[in-house]
Structure 1
Amino acid sequence: MALLRFKYNDSNDDAGFKCGGTVINNRYILTAAHCVQPHQLFYVNEVRVGEWNISASDCEEGEVLNCADSVLDLKIEEKSYIHKKLSLNNTFHKQTNYVWPICLPVSETPDPSVGSTMTVAGWGVTKNGTTSNAKLKLLVPIVSRDYCNTKLANSDGVDSTQICAG
């Protein structure tokens, strides 16, 4: 996984880590499109790979890379508009047990079945409303889109390009 560090557009001050991403090779990080929208108050300045705990100095330090640009992946765009690739200015060379590209499914891969479980991971918001300094993982059950759409009645809901879990 990768951490995305942001800077504010108006001041260039550090805005901290706001999103995560997935290493797909040593030049690209896959992330949610809302993380790299150009109209945001901040922009992705750097990517950190190989990090576990962003507040600890006792571990091996992750590798920090600058971002070149965000680009839409045409193959991903055909199915969904919710992902973007971040292009890196330089490649990273530290492939370890902690930094390794993910294997992306082919387009014919069926969605996971309702009742099965998937693992989600990241430094996101926890149940007390704060973000975690250490990477966390959680097994979540897959639930039906109908169930999600009932629970998300005041939003755009979940369409056929998305998986509902929780």
Structure 2
Amino acid sequence: MSPASRQRYFWEGCAVLLIIATIGVAAQGSCRMDDGGPGECIELLQCQQHVSVITAIRSGRAPTSEYARLRRLVCAIRAGNVLLLCCPAESLLPSDCGLTAQPDRIVGGEDAYVGGWPWIAMLYGSPTPSSDKLFFCGGSLITSRYVLTAAHCIYRGDVSTIDLVRLGEHTVSRDIDCENNDFGQQRCAPHPQDIRPESAVLHPNYDRPGCLRCNDIALIRLSANARLNEFVRPVCLPINPVQQMGFAASEFIGKFGWAAGWGSVGRSLFDTRQPDVLQQVQLQVLSCSSPGVLCALGPGKDTCRGDSGGPFVLSDSRGLRFFLVGVTSSGNVVCATEGVSTRYTAVHEHIPWITQTLRP
């Protein structure tokens, strides 16, 4: 019998043996891995980790006993003996993330390179039901289907206030963005992608009584997958900073990261000038007394109104990938006030909620 035939009969046998045990189990939803960690009940072929295990078994790089573990992770069976397995929630996050062409109202910032921050998103719509439509907040693409933003950017959690999420934008007034590289060759980005949001989930403890702007973080599920390319690409999340980035979350303090956005470039509350070109600014992470928050500051530099929800990223110790460590949340009334830092929702402290909320 060929290996493919043995594999087919193995899974069909699993379906027969386990169908009684799985009667009444939801066809899709949350589940628990064998180590107790959060998972998502999805089709086998949608879980890259399980597919990799099967590939390793077939090639002799993993013992056949791994089949028994996969069998224990069966969480439902669909018609036609289609098995659904519990897949680690973080495996829904892409491994090809945080890469940028960036050479080594944002106040005191500078124009970003085309494609420099390929995960940045713009939210277009009405910040409140009575306001005009405009690009009013930022966000970060973390999978081809999800954008992470600030909870306060979604009015009362109603995603209908957001008409579209734009990806791959750089210069708002231009349809096609081009620039010359260091060798004088022109490099152009494709048209930006405008995708309607399907749903939004605010952190359940956002703005709880006595803690204004706590857990200021939300997930927007897009109505269609983003088309990934050099100019539209997810950012990495710090699931395990030591392993992924080469240093612990406690060591973020003192490091320099980057924020980006199209927010106001004026310091005054009444100066609402917004840039046409995506701005970037380098800020230093400071010690912050508030739980679940990162603080960052630069001399005469800051994020400002309109930058809310946008990314604050740190690179790993090798300078190869960028990780989303903060979601722009709040700052001083007068942007870039000397000695006053901006608050960013600490992404690493919200990883469990993020991974448990994601769906395929």
User: TM range, normalised to the smaller chain?
Assistant: 0.7 to 0.9
More helix by share: 2
- Taking the aligned partners of 1:107 and 1:82, their CA distance within structure 2 comes to 21
Task: Name the residue aligned to 1:24.
Answer: 142
Q: Quick one: which amino acid aligns to residue 219 of structure 2?
A: K
> Residue in 1 aligned with 2:306?
none
Query: Which whole-Å CA distance do the structure 1 matches of 2:152 and 2:201 have between them?
Result: 13
Matched, 1:162 2:293: yes
Residue matched to 1:126: 265
Asked if 1:114 is matched to 2:253, the reply is yes
Tell me, what secondary structure is at the counterpart of 1:163?
strand
* Other structure's SS at 2:224 match: coil
Q: Which amino acid aligns with 1:65?
A: I
2:129 to 3, 6, 9: 9
Q: 1:111 to 1:43 in 2, by over 3 A?
A: farther
The residue number in structure 1 matching 2:238 is 105
**Where in structure 1 do 4 or more consecutive aligned residues deviate above 4 Å?**
none
Cα shift at 1:38: 2.0
3-state SS of paired residue (1:145): coil
Task: State the aligned residue count.
Answer: 146
Task: State the identity %.
Answer: 25
Mapped to 2, the partners of 1:14 and 1:45 lie a distance apart of: 12
C-alpha distance in 1 between matches for 2:217 and 2:226: 22
Distance in 2, matches of 1:111 and 1:35, equals: 28
Q: Provide the residue aligned with 1:81 in structure 2.
A: 215
Q: Which has the larger radius of gyration?
A: 2
Q: TM-score, normalised by structure 2?
A: 0.37
Worse-superposed segment, 19-28 or 98-107: 98-107
- The alignment yields a C-alpha RMSD, in angstroms, of 2.7
* TM-score (norm: length of structure 1): 0.76
Structure 2 unmatched ranges of 5 or more: 1-119, 178-189, 207-213, 242-247, 298-360
AA aligned opposite 1:137: Q
Contact 2:166–2:194 (CA<8 Å) still a contact in 1?
A: yes
What is the CA-CA distance between 1:29 and the residue it aligns to? 0.6
Question: Which sections of structure 1, spanning at least 5 residues, go unmatched?
Answer: 147-158
